[in-house]
Structure 1
Amino acid sequence: MTLPFVKMHAHGDDFLIIDRRGLDDPISAQVARRLGNRHTGIGFNQLAVVLDCADAAARIKFWNPNGTPLQTCGSATRGVAERLMHEAGTDTIVLRTDRGLLTCVRESGQRVSVNMGAPSLGWAAVPLAESMDTLYLPLEGDPAACSMGNPHCTFFVADLAAVDVATLGPALETHVLFPARTNVHFVQVIDRGHIRLRIWERGGGVPLGSGSCCCGAVVNGIRRGLLDDRVEVQCDGGTVTVQWDGQGGVVLTGSVEPIMQGIVYVPIG
């Protein structure tokens, strides 16, 4: 079958949008893997499938390029929001993901914000393999953990350039402490309102950016007392802003830009 698609990116974090409102959902793990292959498919960090929803403008299902589902994606949520706000002629929209109902707002300068909801800070919600303080995990490097609907493990380092993310990331992702595996962040604090971030993404490798990882890294930095409640996060692909008051939802703001659109052939069955 053929599927119309739009590809966008947010600070280098590229994602594919397939709008199936009013239609069936043909995306399986096999189809997601085929589309996610950067040599024989289209390639993406995340796939967002847009579906009908009774209590929001749309529901979004997310896939990693390796064919595993994920619960949330801040970049693709903002990309879908930008397109649907343009379609509806509005500057705000509510979308449903596995995180619940997320409010998105059009900001100045081609930027879109999304309230990603409150982080989960308990060990069982991350999840971790056993009861412990999520602010100080018993791992070399003294990381912190939280969940933004997907698990995050954050290391604070003195020199980000000295970290071999591609080597350390896979081992930490699959560590026995994380029964659902984890995203891994390496953070260099520039000042209380500015961090530099590199990421190993669960099911995806080393991306240029990640919205939910930016949120998780800032949440853990604020919990450690290292950061203020509004932080500029510089990833390899660009910069986003994350705001968190320590109690409520985490607000992610940044630009989203189209890359291409077209029709892709996908064998089904």
Structure 2
Amino acid sequence: MGDFVKYQALGNDYLLVDPGRGETVLGAEPAPEAVRLLCDRHYGAGADGLLLGPLEPPGPDTPVPLRVFNADGSECGMSGNGLRMFALYLAEHHVEEWRAGKPFAVRTKGGDAEVRIVDFAGGLVRVGMGLPRFTTVEGDGHSGAGSVAVPLALAGEGPDTVVTVTDLHLGVPHTVVFRDRVDGELAQRLGPALAWHARYPEGTNVEFVRVPGDGTLEAVVWERAAGRVPASGSGACAAAAVAHARGLVGREVRVRMPGGEVEVSVAGDGRVSLTGTAREVMRGVLSSSLRTELAALRPAPGPSGREGP
């Protein structure tokens, strides 16, 4: 298989490293510097993030553990696009019966997600993303999809010096901004200022959303760790969850992003699920020089012999 497999979902790409396929280039505990190097598009293999798994041999009745890392080396709670890629990898290399649509669970830092492959050949996968927790009002998660005005430190005066946002948590933090027009220029101008605003000590992923009025949504995403991305699965779910809570769309929502479209379903209890495609791009073998460089970045073994901080 090589050192990694690269997948993309609507242009959002991840490297997948399988610890069960021999010694990984990252060791048992990936150092942030090593993840950054591997994901670097100039000095490494290049990707928006890294999937490390399965961490245990997949079984039919237990969740499959997965770790997700952002391109900046930080660990990510959950990725809707990454989960679809991981599901296809598991079905191809580990559990063949999952190709036929039998549901299974994946365990991430952000919680367990139920996954079902709808069309293996076409790369179509459905992922249960869980229950959004709205945090804008009072931060208790039970206030509904409220909104708040956030001042931004932008150069000059203008309509964007104060932006109305809705915050929620769906595996990772999200901030939704509704606009009459969304595009890359808007995301580039406001995304960095919102993603690392003092309001969000750990950063937030920002979705700029337009409601055309036909039951669909248009979204442009700025991620706290990757900047502007072609698409985001959890971001699409966050946008749909807020729009549905406000009565702007129904329970079945098609979210269009620059990289393509996904379908988001909102259940009666508010839980959201995501259906979209993913596909393998390549399988790669790293050069000996890059492997040496990555090995040098591994944490030193602890007293037990296990790599650790």
Same fold (TM over 0.5): yes
Which residue does the alignment assign to 1:169?
A: 191
**Superposed, which structure 2 residues align to 1:1-269 within 5 Å?**
4-21=3-20, 25-50=28-53, 51-52=55-56, 56-87=62-93, 88-89=95-96, 90=98, 91=101, 92-108=103-119, 109-123=122-136, 135-139=146-150, 140-161=162-183, 163-245=185-267, 247-264=269-286, 265-266=290-291, 267-269=294-296
Shift, 1:132, TM fit:
8.1
Partners of 2:42 and 2:111 in 1: CA distance: 34
TM-score after normalising by structure 1: 0.90
Structure 1 residue runs of 5 or longer lacking an equivalent are: none
Structure showing greater Rg: 2
* TM-score, normalization by structure 2: 0.79
- AA paired with 1:113? R
| Deviation readout 1:14-57 (Å, 9 max, x if unpaired) | 11111113765242101110011100111111211001178735
**2:84 counterpart SS class:** helix
| Contact 2:63–2:112 (CA under 8 A) maintained in structure 1 | no
Alpha-carbon distance in 1 for matches of 2:43, 2:131:
38
Alignment: residue pair count: 266
3-state secondary structure, aligned to 1:86? helix
- Take 1:132 and 1:18, find their aligned partners in 2: how far apart are those partners? 40
Say if 1:127 and 1:75 are closer, same or farther in 2 by CA, change over 3 A.
farther
Tell me how far 1:116 sits from its aligned partner.
1.0
Question: Any conservation in 2 of the 1:126–1:147 contact (CA below 8 Å)?
Answer: no
Contact 2:184/2:220, CA 8 A, preserved across alignment: no
Cα distance change on mapping 1:103 and 1:161 into 2, 3 Å: closer
Q: Which amino acid aligns with 1:42?
A: A
Tell me the CA shift for residue 101 of structure 1. 2.0
Moved more, 151-160 or 245-254: 245-254
Q: 1:210 to 1:145 in 2, by over 3 A?
A: same
